[in-house]
Chains A and B, each alone.
Chain A
Amino acid sequence: MTPSLAVRRKALAVRYPWFEGTLFAVSATLVFFVSSLIFFALLGRSPFLLFGELLSGSLGSSYGLTETLVKTIPILLCALATALPARLGLLTVGASGQFYMGAWCGTAMVLLFGHSHWAAMPLMFLGAFAGGAIWGLVPGFLRAKLEVNETLVTLLLNYVASLLVDWVVYGSWRDTSNLGWPATISFPQWVKLPLLINGSHLHSGLILALLIAVALHVVLSRSRWGLSLRILKSNLKLGEGVGFSWTGNVALVMGIGGAIAGLSGILETSCIHGRLESGIALNFGLTGFLVAWMAGQHMIRIIPLAFVMGALLSSGDALQLYAQLPEATAVVLQSILFCSVLATGGFLRRGRSP
């Protein structure tokens, strides 16, 4: 950045507090569109047509809109599950493993107590929270006590969790009356949350997820605990000196984050699929990571971004149907978006302090 531009930028930033944020958002979006345009143009396709299909497919009809919202729920929850530990500086990509373990334990509860009309749902949620929390506490503990890099541990545990689900779904929990199809019995009606829109898959888990996001935001920005996290993250020695516990807080954020991801796991299992099956986590863990990152780990900003991602993912089959583009296109677009955000963020930061 030339000195005069940098000076002008500094002046604007001082005068309008929203300047930096807007500059970032607009630049990142521009970079994303330009990069995707180039990608599609290289394929010989009209980018505007494709974006049109993408948008009309995900938002242009009531069906598309509800499906987008359905996708938004797990992405939002997994993003929150990633953002909370990140407030302490922990980088976890383990939401999908915690998702699976939440689904695993929640399903176990349903299999054990599903007959009870009033106890089944609370126990199911408790199980999901516990399962997800444990899967978050293990890497947390390893990081706090043994300084093992939590990113790698969570990545490895993702694969283990997915296999554990396969183990029971193909083995002892398999519904034998379903011709050996690898899935558990159908969940009873009373463990499913009420639907927001009849005839769709959109369940009230959306409200729950939004409430959690708001609650986290309020707690983190207003409470003493939120303050302790900020201090510990920026200066560990200082934080511990003042009496905040590193280990305790690692456990808290990893445990709560894991529980949130576990919740998204059981919600998908019970309200969307109606039974535990293999491979239901799709890319939610990774997508959640991206969303959390792009939102700067800010709980409220995560909401609209999760919605955008949900639209992107749910439009995948619109692209396949109308544009004969493979499903992988959605993944490519996601990664281009993330790269754009990273590049823009990095350059803008550099430009600020030459």
Chain B
Amino acid sequence: MIRRILSMSIALAAATILLAGCGKKEESKAGGADSAKVGFIYVGPRTDYGYNYAMDQGRLQLEKDLGIKTVYFENIPENAEVERVMERMIGDGIKIIFATSYGYLDPALEVAAKHPDVIFMHGGGFKLAPNLGTFFADIDEVEYLSGMAAGACTKSGKLGFIAAHPIPQTLRNINAFTRGAQSMNPKVTMNVVWTGSWSDPTKEAEAANTLADQGIDVLTMHVDGPITIAQTAEKRGIMVCGYHADASQFAPKGWLTGAAWNWAPLMEKIVKSIQDSTWKSANLRGNIRDGYVKLASYGPAVPDPVKTKIDSVEKAFVGGAPLWIGPIVAQDGSVKAKAGDTLTRAQIESMDFLVKGVIGSVK
């Protein structure tokens, strides 16, 4: 008896509020999401000065340049949860969805299958559907350039890399950065510390302090937001190279440079193609040549001759010089590419080793 009354009263209260709220629903939607046709989904906060910030910068530029309205959702986890968000966006009239984080791929495919009139653009994936395409960019070359700055400016010869998870994209970054540093100073070593989380400021600060304790004087990272590591480096009086975005304001003295995304041109290209119906489902990729990635601004600690050298290598890359060209030797001594040979696209995308000079495990 009691249980029936309990559930009844809850249901009754709920129904009352539903009726009360129903009538006013129209007001809240007027002028809001109605006019927006493009939606963005981020896995974290857009103010992280990192991955999500970079995507959001692209969105803001898109709004400005093309004069369209957009909506965004932050902190959406990468599992079936995101399907609900997408469904709601579609229910609200959104026709183009940018799912910016890798883990959204399978959910996006499922939702895409149910809504053939909506176009989905996924960041980083390789699966396609008639109304789903992917986009991303290679940041390897810029990591190499960033590493050059580190190699040239380090006084102790010890570099540190704080990373979240050992996935191929991160391994590519570590290897590219290290090779860049080695090109300026062949004797540098690179210590890798895994935090096990895309965003854990406490661990990141601890890792930075630990590395600094061991004499490392240039840090870089592959985590969602570079803020904590940049600040900790600044506090310890060591240098830092950023990732994802320009976070130099967090380390005015120690900032060297960094590898940053520049998503706006790619996003505008995509939206324009949708607008004039030339859009086709494809895996859009680009790199430094297309301007989808760029080197962040230099800090005061980088001397001019180093800047010149980096600029010239940058020009070489833009001109077509390959990055992953042998000799490439792994930590255990095995030769991944002989002198003059280049790694294939597939080998790059599935990289599972760290180059010689890196201290740390791939697990």
Q: Do A and B have CB atoms closer than 8 angstroms in the complex?
A: yes
Chain B residues lying within 8 Å of A46, measured Cβ to Cβ, are 24
Minimal beta-carbon separation of A170 from chain B (angstroms): 5
A130 to B71 CA separation, bound complex (whole angstroms):
45
Q: Decide if B273 is an interface residue (CB 8 Å cutoff).
A: no
CB <8 Å contact, B3 and A322 = no
Contact of A180 (CB < 8 Å), options: B5, B14, B168: B168
- Asked if A209 is at the interface (CB within 8 A of a chain B CB), the reply is no
Q: How far is the CB of A7 from chain B (nearest CB, A)?
A: 22
A297 to B6, CA, bound (A): 14
Cβ 8 A contact of A166, one of B7, B13, B196: B196
Query: What 1/0 mask marks residues of chain A from 302 to 340 whose CB sits below 8 Å from any chain B CB?
Result: 001100100000100110111100110000000000000
Are B106 and A274 in contact, with the CB atoms below 8 A? yes
B301 within 8 A of partner (CB): no
Q: Are B17 and A48 in contact (CB under 8 A)?
A: yes
Closest to B105 in A: A181
A170 to B5 CA separation, bound complex (whole angstroms)? 48
Give the complex CA separation of A311 and B252 in angstroms: 47
Task: Give the CA-CA distance A61 to B7 in the complex, in Å.
Answer: 21
CA A133 to CA B57, docked complex, whole Å: 48
Which size bracket describes the interface of B in this complex?
Answer: 35 or more
Q: Is B1 an interface residue (CB 8 A)?
A: yes
A298 within 8 A of B: yes
Nearest chain A residue, comparing its CB with the CB of B75: A327
Taking a contact as CB atoms under 8 Å apart, the answer to whether A321 and B73 are in contact is: yes
Is the C-beta of B192 less than 8 angstroms from some C-beta in chain A?
no
Q: Does A150 contact B (CB under 8 A)?
A: no
Shortest C-beta distance, A329 to chain B (Å), equals: 12
Q: Which residues of B contact A304 (CB under 8 A)?
A: 3, 6-7, 10-11
**Stretch of B77-85, B149-157, B177-185 that contacts chain A:** B77-85
Contact B28 A49 (CB under 8 A): yes
The residue of chain A having its C-beta at the shortest distance from the C-beta of B349 within the complex is A179
Inter-subunit contact B20/A301 (CB<8 Å): no
Within 8 A of B (CB), among A1-47: 17-18, 20-22, 25-26, 29, 33, 46
Q: Pick the contact of B84: A67, A280, A298 (CB < 8 A).
A: A67
In the complex with contacts A55-B18, A176-B350, A181-B103, A22-B80 CB distance below 8 A:
no
Query: Does B269 make an interface contact (CB < 8 A)?
Result: no
A317 contacts across to B, CB distance below 8 A: 73, 76, 81, 84-85, 88
Further pairs besides A22-B2, A179-B124: 7, Cβ < 8 Å: A25-B6, A25-B9, A49-B24, A55-B14, A273-B79, A280-B79, A317-B73
Question: What are 17 residue pairs bridging A and B, where the CB atoms are less than 8 Å apart in the complex?
Answer: A21-B3, A22-B9, A29-B9, A29-B10, A29-B13, A48-B20, A52-B24, A54-B21, A56-B18, A56-B22, A59-B18, A170-B166, A179-B167, A180-B168, A181-B103, A317-B73, A326-B74
